[in-house]
Structure 1
Amino acid sequence: MINKIIYALSHYLALLVFLCACWGVGQTVLRRLAPSAPGPEEKPLWHGIATALGMGAYVCAIQWLAIAGQFRFLPLLLALVFGLCLGALEWRALPARGEPTMAQRWRSANWAERGALLLIAFMILPTLIAPLCPPLAWDEVMYHLPHAKQWALNGRLSVNEWLRYPWFPYNVDLLFSAALLTYDDVMPHLLNALAAWLTAFLVYHAGKRYFGKSLAFIAAVVFMVLMRDEFDLAMVDVSVMLFIFAGCLAFYLWQQQPERLVLLAVSAFLLGVAVGAKYQALQLLPLLAIALLARTRAPRDWLIAIVGLLLPCAFWYVRNYMLTGDPFNPIGGKLFGFTDWNLADYQWQMADLKLHAGAPHWIIWPALLAPFIAKVRRLPGARAAMILAGAGLAVWLLTSRYPRYLMPFYPVLALLAAAVWHWAFVTACSRFARGQGDGLEKKAAVSCVSLLLLVVVPFALTKEYKNWKLVAPTVDAREAVLQRKITGYAMLAYLRDHPMGRTYQFGLEDALYYSPPGTGGDHFGPGRYRDLAGLAPADLAKALRHLGYTSLLIHTVRWPGIETKPGFAQFFTLVHRDGPVSLYQVADTAPAAAQPN
């Protein structure tokens, strides 16, 4: 137990250091360049946006270091120390606190507010433990962390063509790579969780600033329900959501205060970080361009916006265009031509998205009613939120309908859904009150919060216990978790201890992070499964040697029949077997009898 506690505290201390550095960088930019300080009601939003800005600045710095081939521990450490120094200076510059303390707020709150605070606390509790587990999720061990690990090993940015999506924009994955280089592979989970917590902070304070405290509580609860399974992953969707929401908030603040051009620059920069992390973020650019055009036609404003947008993302698209002819490789293949992918890969990807299509969580469905409720429409910022959410939903419905691709719009959908839930609650209470004033509303609020606590507390404690069991503070504990959770881990550990050159695998793509560097095999790109699985043993050995592989891993349950083909033993030598996973050495040359005439 004590080992786990020390392990958790050390990781959270490292995360706190990074958080302070991010806030220091962002706060310096906002305070130095803004013509005036924000009002008391805007300060929390400014601090949240400043932290997101600092994260984006570190992403940009890491990108440039990796491009320059200087992706090393020392430059990263110097960048972190620089941010901490700025944070210390900005902390000293903060005015004396005039707000009530947490204890004072608790004493002055009514029972409904206290219950809401407890509810949010119990929803956050499991998310504090979940990020501490080793990498286990499919996408993170298949390509997010393998790419990050390769850059950390190389000390520079490289195109890892044997992994899935080698040409994607990878801003956030570079941040994960820096975490691997400076600490360990649990830190990417914590960075992902930090993005979720920071977004929740912005959702709550945006709701409080524009909609009121009660609605802000509901929005925070709705958002945490939506994000409940996103804290033990190292994937980019959560960070993209943060940068998009923070960028949209900065843009809305700039629309209200156009003299603060720094907000326009920050908005464009944050959106640029998102566009440099995932292609789906591109869908927002036409909408925001229209909004900018409706607000200003000044060349200076447009120049600021364009430069801010391109600074963190232009490299990825220019690189792709120069090296492959497709700036959106591989998604733009039908328009610009395919390179590593082909049309079948593209169609396979689209079919996979359709296979996983589904409806979002029911808790945000009331957001669809927001445009039809006058009281909700009159809330400050509601019109902008409805336009943003409507555009996002329209694109999502017309394209993938994959729930994860709706995540960038979860914050505004949570705010709109909260407004409708709150309106429905108040309306129902007023109908049943029959002249009793607001007494019924207060009693109903306390009852609802108490009921939610009865549901959430057991769930939170159960989930926390399950997450705690996966925390692995020692090498032996980590090995035990990975043996249970990662397909073929024992074989991959054997292969790491007994290297056999580059390895091709059938059926272990969900464990590539734990395989030796250079291990290939996937459904897409050169060396795709369907091009090799049906080959005769002689042709398979020749193809693997041509692709640079000298050994072969087969998960015989997932890919049966490959090793039972006639003549397989002539071209592949069994080296080791562990359960359903077999390791073979690929023959250097085919026997004379098998040579073509």
Structure 2
Amino acid sequence: MFAAAHYAQFAVFVMACWGLGRTVLAWLRPPSRRDAWLEAAMAAALGVGLYICAFQALAIFGLFRREATLGLIGAGVVAAAWQWRGWRADVRALRAAAPAAAPWTRYERIAAIALALVVLPALVAPLAPPAAFDELMYHLPYARLVAQQGTLGIHDWLRYPWFPYNYNLLYAAALQVGDDVLPHFLNGLAGALSVLMIFRLGILHANRLTACIGAAIWLGMGDYANALIDMGVALFVLSAFVALWWWRESEPLRDGTRWLSLAAFCLGVAAGSKYQALIFLPLVAVFVVRHERRVLRAWAPALLCFLIPCIYWYARNAIMTGDPFNPIGARVFGFSEWVPADYVQQVADVRDHAEMPNALIWSVFLAPFSVLWKRSAAVRAAGWFCLYSVAVWVVTSRYPRYLMASFPLLAVTAAVGWQALFSGIAAGVRRLRGAKAAAPVGPRSGAGIGDWVVVLLLAVLAAVSVGQTATKVSMISLTPEAREAFLRKHVPGYGVMDYVRRNVTGRVYQIALNEAIYYGPNPIWGDTLGRWRYRDYLLLSPGDTARKLAAEGFTTVVMSPEMVKVLSVRPGFDQYYGLLHEQDGSRAYRLLPTTAP
């Protein structure tokens, strides 16, 4: 029942998103190249974006309440019911007009089965309780505050109080109508829609095997057990790419301006969710300006559509701090919440986590050697997008998660590369044996050695997926006792944070327990960066630290086991801090009455 209840709520929201998005897409008229399932995925993605804008507008005016959320979702469900008959008629008409498809070959069927197995972990992973670092540090705490208060605010006790929080508004809505597992499903929705888009793009512009490989790679790389926002950003970047290609295929381009505006809207939703989405604007601008230079008729509507989802965040920051990109624009616009040392520490932390991305996408550099590269302009466009994304990523961060917005297109382009690699190897083997060179891989080509090697790769991925499914199932907590045990095992400091939340009423300062603050009191102060940075307190003597905290209204301090070992042995510590609670090595102390120096 636990899983069924969550999937039922999820299905209702998906239906509402599709209904709202389909209503708008029907008004925009269909693209030149029709695909019912790609259009359905785009409709759902557009609906997600429209809901984000609606929630943002409500929260700006302090009206973001449970009743308003349910009313908007209900309107989407009504729209879905209204659009259902028309969509079914479109599907039948497209099937009737489409040429007869070639039968699925044996290796294509095997690839499809492998893909189905890769889906399994993604189906069960969202059911786990929140336990990922960043979702507990600021994504869910921010969403909970918005859900409770019904308005947007600046919360300086969070790690990034000035960031754009578009996708987090979905999590706030989920917390209004459900529990804290439901946001995982909205993160998973972004992954599911982008997987469907990748699969349909692979079939449209390459072949079924490419579609299965690309979808499997992106499924394997996605993380469905948390409420982060990277997959949401990836969905809207991919949706913008699809809309741009619809615009590029429109004949003439004048009639496709609607798709340019849709692409701009999707980029605006992405840019209003994470600053990293801004890196795609130069590439899109170059792509568009090659084909469209009409400012008033094309660029002006597109710019407006881009600004609608994201202008609030950037304008607010610029007005209140002088830095529209606070805090990453500090070197240009001046420091406000952060100091230069915070900036240096953040950059150093990103560099410390720099590493190569998942090896499954390395073959993207082999895509230009594929016959699909020569045949399909869409494949070439995806390839140039990937090369640009990787180049910018290498120059700026080399932190794998900052590349996730490009992962869906990297996955499908890497699939083209894998086919080129294995087909080339197979052709070389046949030449060495004196056999005829292999025929190019195409939608109707027979199975060659290279194809079977690719299928074997998918089979290995599927086998790993089955093992991961068992792990994800073990993380599901059906009872309060199971949830408690899971969180104590996976969230350092959960026990003491939960105790303080239930028993302490004053202001609480936490030390090195950032990754558990969602389970602590709301709000709770203390971080490595920003106004409440640890070094401003912990470099003082125990007495000076206690007096500083007391002067700022704090009554309680909680700290990780590592910090307990360091701080509790400092001379004079026991004169200022009294033990309240200890669990799993973490401790909570109350501030004792201090004597002025």
Same fold (TM over 0.5): yes
Q: For residues 106-117 of structure 1, what are the structure 2 equivalents within 5 Å?
A: 108-117=103-112
Q: CA deviation at 1:72?
A: 0.7
Structure 1 residues 18, 572: closer, same or farther in 2, change over 3 A? Answer: same
Residue 115 of structure 1 contacts residue 449 of structure 1 at CA under 8 Å; is this kept in 2? no
Instruction: Note closer, same or farther for the CA distance 1:141–1:313 as it changes in structure 2 (3 Å cut).
Output: same
Q: Deviations over 1:254-306 (max 9, x none)?
A: 12113133212211111000000000011111221222222212111111111
Aligned to 1:10: 5
For the residue of structure 2 that corresponds to 1:327, the secondary structure is coil
Cα distance between partner residues in 1 of 2:116 and 2:288: 38
State how 1:127-166 maps to structure 2 within 5 Å: 127-166=122-161
Distance 1:546 1:174, change over 3 A: farther
Moved more, 487-496 or 12-21: 487-496
Structure 1, 405-414 or 350-359: larger mean CA deviation: 405-414
The one-letter code sitting in structure 1 at the alignment partner of 2:238 is F
Aligned amino acid, residue 240 of structure 2 = G
Residue 569 of structure 1 pairs with residue 569 of structure 2: no
Equivalence for 1:425 = 422
- Distance in 1 (CA, whole Å) between partners of 2:385 and 2:188 is 24
Q: Is the deviation greater in 540-549 or in 183-192? A: 540-549
Equivalent residue for 1:281, pick from 248, 270, 277:
277
Structure 1 residue 508 corresponds to structure 2 residue 513: yes
> 2:333 corresponds to which residue?
336
Q: Which amino acid aligns with 1:27?
A: R
- Report deviation, 1:431: 4.2
Instruction: For 1:287, give the aligned amino acid.
Output: L
1:15 aligned counterpart, secondary structure? helix
Matched with 1:451 is 456
Query: 1:375-386 residue pairs with structure 2 within 5 A?
Result: 376-386=373-383
**Structure-2 separation of matches of 1:395 and 1:440:** 36
1:211 equivalent among 198, 206, 212: 206
2-structure distance, mates of 1:253, 1:141: 39
Give a deviation string over 1:109-162, Cα, whole Å, max 9, x none.
221111011100110011101110000011111111111111112221111111
Is 1:496 matched with 2:491?
no
Q: Which of 65, 77, 87 is the equivalent residue of 1:72?
A: 65
In 1, the alpha carbon distance for the partners of 2:102 and 2:423 equals 25
Write the deviation string for residues 390-443 of structure 1: whole angstroms up to 9, x where unpaired.
221121111101011111111222222211222233334444452498799626
1:84 aligns with 2:80: no
Unaligned runs of 5+ in 2: none
Whole-Å separation in 2 of the counterparts to 1:583 and 1:83: 47
Q: Matched residues in 1 for 2:292 and 2:243: separation?
A: 16
May I ask how many residue pairs the two structures share in their alignment? 580
Deviation at 1:561, TM superposition (A): 2.5
3-state SS, counterpart of residue 504 of structure 1 = strand
Q: Is the 8 A contact 1:365 1:417 kept in 2?
A: yes
What is the rounded CA distance, in whole Å, between the counterparts of 2:415 and 2:409 in structure 1? 10
**Preserved CA contact (<8 Å) 1:142 1:510:** yes
C-alpha distance in structure 1 between counterparts of 2:390 and 2:408, whole Å = 13
Moved more, 471-480 or 61-70: 471-480
2:266 corresponds in structure 1 to: 270
Q: Are the counterparts in 2 of residues 489 and 514 from structure 1 also a CA contact under 8 Å?
A: yes
Contact 2:491 2:516 in 1 (8 A): yes
Amino acid at match of 1:253: W
In structure 1, the residue matched to 2:321 is: 324
**Residues of 2 paired with 1:455 and 1:366: CA distance?**
17
Residue in 2 that maps onto 1:294: 290
- Residues 349-364 of structure 1 aligned to structure 2 (within 5 Å): 349-364=346-361
With 376-385 and 58-67 compared, the bigger mean Cα shift is at 376-385
Deviations, residues 425-463 of structure 1 (Å, cap 9, x unaligned): 333444445249879962636743663465344422321
Q: AA paired with 1:248?
A: F
Cα distance in 1 for partners of 2:11, 2:374 equals 39
In structure 2, what is the Cα distance between the partners aligned to 1:437 and 1:322?
63
Structure 1 window deviating more from structure 2 (487-496 vs 40-49): it is 40-49
What SS class does the counterpart of residue 75 from structure 1 fall into?
Answer: helix
Matched, 1:22 2:17: yes
1:256 corresponds to? 249
Matched, 1:388 2:385: yes
> Which stretch shifts more, 322-331 or 430-439?
430-439
Take 1:144 and 1:42, find their aligned partners in 2: how far apart are those partners?
35
Residue-by-residue CA offset, 1:545-576 (whole Å, 9 max, x unaligned)? 34332111122324532222222223222222
Query: Residues 421 and 455 of structure 1: is their aligned pair in 2 closer, same or farther, counting only changes over 3 Å?
Result: closer
1:51 counterpart residue number: 44
Instruction: Report if the CA contact (8 A) 1:571-1:587 is conserved.
Output: yes
Q: Distance in 2 between matches of 1:201 and 1:392?
A: 22
Kept in 1: contact 2:198–2:412 (CA 8 A)? yes
Q: Which amino acid aligns with 2:422?
A: F
8 A Cα contact 1:130 1:231, kept in partner: yes
Query: For residues 276 and 114 of structure 1, what CA distance do their matches in structure 2 show?
Result: 40
Shift of 1:498: 0.8
Equivalent residue for 1:3?
A: none
Secondary structure (helix, strand or coil) at the match of 2:51 reads helix
Offset of residue 375 of structure 1:
5.1
* TM-score normalised to structure 1 length: 0.92
Bigger CA drift: 471-480 or 441-450?
Answer: 441-450
Give the one of 401, 406, 427 matched to 1:404. Answer: 401
1:279 maps to amino acid:
Y
| 1:519 counterpart SS class | coil
What SS class does the counterpart of residue 526 from structure 1 fall into?
coil
Aligned residue type for 2:268: G
CA separation of 1:440 and 1:286: change in aligned 2, threshold 3 A: closer
The one-letter code matched in structure 1 to 2:343 is: Y
SS in 1 for 2:578: strand
Deviation of residue 106 (structure 1)? 12
Q: TM-score, normalised by structure 2?
A: 0.92
2:412 pairs, out of 395, 410, 415, with 415
Percent identical: 38
- Give RMSD over aligned pairs: 2.3
Distance in 1 of aligned mates of 2:450 and 2:106: 9
Query: How has the CA–CA distance of structure 1 residues 106 and 125 changed in structure 2, closer, same or farther, with 3 Å as cutoff?
Result: farther
Deviates more, 1:114-123 or 1:577-586: 577-586
User: Offset of 1:469 from its aligned partner?
Assistant: 1.5
Residues 476-555 of structure 1: pairs in structure 2 closer than 5 A = 476-555=481-560
Please state if 1:307 is matched with 2:304: yes
| Aligned equivalents of 1:224, 1:320: Cα separation in 2 | 35
Query: Are 1:33 and 2:23 counterparts?
Result: no
Q: What letter matches 2:47 in structure 1?
A: G
SS of 1:523's partner is coil
Structure 1 residues 478-487 or 90-99, which shifts more?
90-99
Q: Partner amino acid for 2:522?
A: P
Q: 1:492 to 1:414 in 2, by over 3 A?
A: same
Contact 2:198 2:215 in 1 (8 A): yes
The offset of 1:352, in angstroms, is 0.4
Identify which range, 339-348 or 417-426, moves more after superposition.
Answer: 417-426
**Match for residue 589 of structure 2?**
584
Q: Tell whether the 8 Å contact from 2:369 to 2:417 is kept in structure 1 after alignment.
A: no
Paired residue secondary structure (1:311): helix
In structure 2, the CA distance between the partners of 1:527 and 1:16, relative to structure 1 (3 Å rule), is same
